[in-house]
Amino acid sequence: MKKIGFIGLGIMGKPMAMNLIKAGYNLTVYDIRPQPVKEVVAAGAKECKSSRDVAAQSEVVITMLPNSPDVKKAVLGANGVLEGAKTGTILIDMSSIAPLVSKEIAAEAQKKSVEMLDAPVSGGEPKAKDGTLAIMVGGKKEVFEKVEDILKVMGSSAVLVGDIGSGNTTKLANQIIVALNIAAMSEAMVLATKAGVDPEKVFQAVRGGLAGSNVLNAKMPLVLDGNFKPGFRIELHIKDLANALDTAHEIGVPVPLTGVVMEIMQALKVDAKAGDDHGGIIQFYEKSAKVGVRRPKK
C-alpha cells in the first residue's frame, strides 16, 4: 500500500487525512499549526517538520491548502515538496487554486520527474468527514489511475475531467453554481418570509420540484436554525470567485451574476461575517429587507 504524505490539516484537510488513516494507509503529515497535527498523529499518522520531510517519506503527496500562494510555497519554496520528492513521486493538489498556477507548479514538478494532478473537491466539511466529496481531477490518465483508489477513500466520486488545470477550472464552475444557488435561495426565502409565509413550509414545498437542489437541502435547514458555523467560509468562497473572475476575464467570458454575488460577499466581509458559512449569504438580504428567515418559535 502506498505511503502517503498529507500537507494542510484545516477544516477540510484534517477529516480527509483521518479517512486515509481509517482506510489503513501509512500517513505522514505536516501543518504550520500544531493542534490539528496532534489530533491526526493521535489517530495513527506520523508527524513531519516540513513539506520537504513529508515528500521524502512518501510515494504520494497530497496538499490541501487555502490558496495559490500557499501551494506554491509548500511545493516550490524552501523546504518544499520538490526538495524532498523522489523521481516518480505523485503530487495531488486538492486545494482550490487558479488553474494557471496549477499548470505552473506542474511544469516545475515535471523538471524533477514528479507527476502532478490538480484535484479540488466539493462538498464542504460534512462530506469531507464522511468521505463523500466530489473530486474533480486534471492531469494524465495513467497518473490518475495510479491514485484513483486513494481519491475514492476521500470522495464518493473522482472524475478525470482533462489535462492539468482542468480540475480547478471545473471547481471554479462548481463554485459559481453553488454561490448563485445560495444567493437565489436567499433572495427567494427573504421574499417569502417578508410576505408572511413560513419559510420552512416554502422549503418543503419547493424542494421536490425543479427549484430543488443539493445546495437548498444542505443550506436551508441551517439558515432556519440561524446556524452559520462554517462548513465553507465566505472568505474562501470570495477567494474562489476571485479566481473565477480572473480566469473568465483572461479568456474573454462575461460572468455578470458571479460579479454580483462577489459584491454581496464583499459586503458581508465588511460586516465582519467573512468567517461565516457561505450559507450566510442570506444575511445580506435579511439586513436589506429587515427580516429574519428562521423557524417560527413554538
Of 102, 117, 182, 119, the C-alpha closest to 155 is 119
Compute the average pLDDT of residues 193-200.
Answer: 97
Average pLDDT, the chain: 96
Nearest by Cα to 90 from 101, 82, 79, 99: 82
Q: Does position 1 have pLDDT exceeding 80, yes or no?
A: no
CA distances, 186 to each of 131, 209, 286, 289 (Å):
28, 17, 8, 11
How do residues 3-25 score in pLDDT, each as one tens digit? 999 999 999 999 999 999 999 99
Task: Say whether 277 sits in a helix, a strand or coil.
Answer: strand
Quote the CA–CA distance of 120 and 137 in Å, as a whole number. Answer: 7
CATH topology of domain 169-289: N-(1-d-carboxylethyl)-l-norvaline Dehydrogenase; domain 2 (1.10.1040)
Cα gap 239→91, rounded to integer Å: 23
pLDDT by residue (tens digit) across 142-168? 999 999 999 999 999 999 999 999 999
State pTM to two decimals. Answer: 0.91
Residue with cell 517519506: 57
Residue 141 scores a pLDDT above 80: yes
- Alpha-helical (H) ranges within 163-292 are 166-194, 199-206, 214-224, 234-251, 256-270, 282-289
The values of phi and psi at residue 12, to 5°, are -90, -45
Mean pLDDT of 245-274: 97
pLDDT above 80 for 97: yes
Could you tell me if 277 and 218 are in contact, meaning their C-beta atoms sit under 8 angstroms apart? no
Q: Give the dihedral sign, CA 6/12/15/19.
A: negative
CATH number for the domain whose boundaries are 3-163: 3.40.50.720
* Phi and psi at residue 135, to the nearest 5°: -115, 125
DSSP 225: T
Catalytic annotation present for 171: yes
Give the model's pLDDT for residue 243.
93
Do 188 and 194 touch, CB atoms closer than 8 A? no
Please report the pLDDT score of residue 298 as a whole number. 61
Burial 13-24 (b: 16+ CB within 10 A, else e): bbbbbbbbbebe
Give percent above pLDDT 90 in the chain: 95
- Cα(266)–Cα(269) distance, integer angstroms: 5
Which pLDDT does position 2 carry in this prediction?
Answer: 82
Q: Which residue among 14, 127, 129, 171 is the active-site one?
A: 171
pLDDT of residue 296: 72
Rounded Cα–Cα distance for residues 50 and 42 (Å): 19
Q: What is the mean pLDDT of residues 288-295?
A: 96
Question: What are the residue boundaries of the structural domains of the chain, listed by start?
Answer: 3-163, 169-289
* pLDDT at residue 89 in the model: 97
Q: Express each pLDDT in 66-84 by its tens digit.
A: 999 999 999 999 999 999 9
Query: Alpha-carbon distance 244 to 43, whole Å?
Result: 37
- What's the pLDDT score for residue 278? 97
